[in-house]
Structure 1
């Protein structure tokens, strides 16, 4: 009798083990797969991650990076999110870390989860991170370096250009994201340096990045400051909406309008003479330099990298130039 009970008990264990194993398999099979890495373990693998896939500026960053990756003989992929989807962007960053790529080039995001992923998870796996175009404070992320425009200098140059038209007593409205990301704060710092002691009244306003929020913010600004002399958009992606809302109520020529070239419509707005000037950057150079610096670091050829970053050049492009 005892022997029969043991046999029955053993069969039950086997039965339940099969059920548990099948359930685990189904869960694992339904889980999104991490990016696959080629079997050649001698080849370095680098990922470029952006919040703005398929946009002119970031396509140019990717193009420069791809060309340098091919030259260096490293595997390269572009991933990220569309239209500033922070959650999808950070998920892509986490997947790249867990897939154990050798290095990451990334559009910096001044966000607690970004900082945790960079400072803890990437550091745990020994994956170096270089920020591209948009930087974040190094103390919060442990990023190796930054490749891109000196945003303080760019903001200051744009401010000095605006001063060629503005005069003492004029009013300038500066529009920035309500989250006040680091790269926008740097641009604002440069603007304020340019306008310091120039008799220019600088009005800084924030807005959400959703379309209706931008519309509402612009309308409110026009109601509160109808006689302002200039608008400066620190986030270039806001420019088209601001231009549309102004043109519904008054002439665009009533204002000087300035921004940067990393927005989807910025260059087209300049060419159509709907804005007066913008800061043009070198996205291809950013991508190329990013891959080169990362590969040099991974191969031990350049250690340490300059924490302050490697600045690419920029210039002010105005209507008719």
Structure 2
């Protein structure tokens, strides 16, 4: 996903600046079953520093603990763990705030009435949970006339989100807005609306090149954009500080603000600087 490509760009730039070598590994699916063997293989090579986005806040703890037991410094980026003992730093976006922003956009565009659907990649990954939590909180408190017709979890491919959106259209024809908590969700909803002729408010997360194109065309109504390159940069910096015994410079927990961009704002230089690099 473009989010992790941009995060990797930040990691690489900071690592080069500090004279550190860098490599990246990733799982094919955003699941603990797929990620755990990758983490185990990486840590068997005894790197000095591991930056990781855990796919589950509990299931990945044993593998990460094994890394730390081998003397590997660990920084969490994007997602987090329930038990952060021994972790150098946990760096993420303010995901609840991002979800609240998405809920507000849907509420305003629907004028406080109607049905919405929520989509996500994972029922357990911390970022995904918090984004849906924020959206639900905002809708419940500020827009009580709006009901949530469906909450669905998809695979990483946009085609999975498209199939899910089509099923929601069929089962809940009154749905007027979607919030997708990850890149592929909004992309898939846009594909589904294009194929079916349905018009809905489509609020997405992140800013992949594909999403940005859909935002500019109006097929995505708004995006909640993170700062992944900065997450990567800070992750390397704090890891380096830990390795060089500059622990007083480390922030144990960082929540970066999001940027919300609508179709009308999509070409403004004030926001284009936040768009991600790399492919979706």
TM-score under structure 1 length normalisation: 0.73
**Which residue in 1 is equivalent to 2:107?**
163
Residue 264 of structure 2 corresponds to residue 320 of structure 1: yes
Q: Distance in 1 between matches of 2:179 and 2:19?
A: 42
Give the superposed CA RMSD. Answer: 2.5
Matches within 5 A, 1:1-321: 55-82=1-28, 84=30, 89-110=35-56, 113-119=59-65, 121-133=66-78, 135-139=79-83, 142-177=86-121, 179-197=123-141, 198-199=143-144, 200-209=146-155, 213-251=160-198, 254-261=199-206, 265-303=210-248, 305-307=250-252, 309-321=253-265
Q: Distance in 2 between matches of 1:315 and 1:205?
A: 24
Q: Give the total of aligned pairs.
A: 262
Pair 235,81 (structure 1): closer, same or farther in 2 beyond 3 Å: same
User: What is the DSSP-based 3-state SS (H/G/I as helix, E as strand, rest coil) of the residue aligned with 1:137?
Assistant: coil
Unaligned stretches of 5+ in structure 1? 1-54
TM-score under structure 2 length normalisation: 0.83
Q: Could you tell me how far 1:101 is from its partner in structure 2?
A: 0.8
Q: Distance in 2 between matches of 1:235 and 1:221?
A: 18
User: What is the DSSP-based 3-state SS (H/G/I as helix, E as strand, rest coil) of the residue aligned with 2:184?
Assistant: helix
Q: Distance in 1 between matches of 2:43 and 2:61?
A: 13
Q: Larger Cα Rg: Structure 1 or Structure 2? A: 1
Q: Distance in 1 between matches of 2:69 and 2:95?
A: 30
**Which residue in 1 is equivalent to 2:270?**
none
Pair 187,68 (structure 1): closer, same or farther in 2 beyond 3 Å: same
Q: Could you tell me how far 1:149 is from its partner in structure 2?
A: 0.8
* Contact 2:90-2:254 at 8 Å conserved across structures: yes
Q: Which has the higher relative contact order, 1 or 2, with Cα contacts under 8 A spaced 6 or more apart? A: 2
Q: Distance in 2 between matches of 1:142 and 1:228?
A: 45
Q: Could you tell me how far 1:210 is from its partner in structure 2?
A: 6.5
Q: Could you tell me how far 1:59 is from its partner in structure 2?
A: 2.2
* Contact 1:237-1:264 at 8 Å conserved across structures: no
Pair 185,178 (structure 1): closer, same or farther in 2 beyond 3 Å: closer
Unaligned stretches of 5+ in structure 2? 266-280
Q: Could you tell me how far 1:107 is from its partner in structure 2?
A: 1.8
Q: Distance in 1 between matches of 2:151 and 2:31?
A: 23
Q: Could you tell me how far 1:305 is from its partner in structure 2?
A: 4.6
Q: Could you tell me how far 1:249 is from its partner in structure 2?
A: 2.0
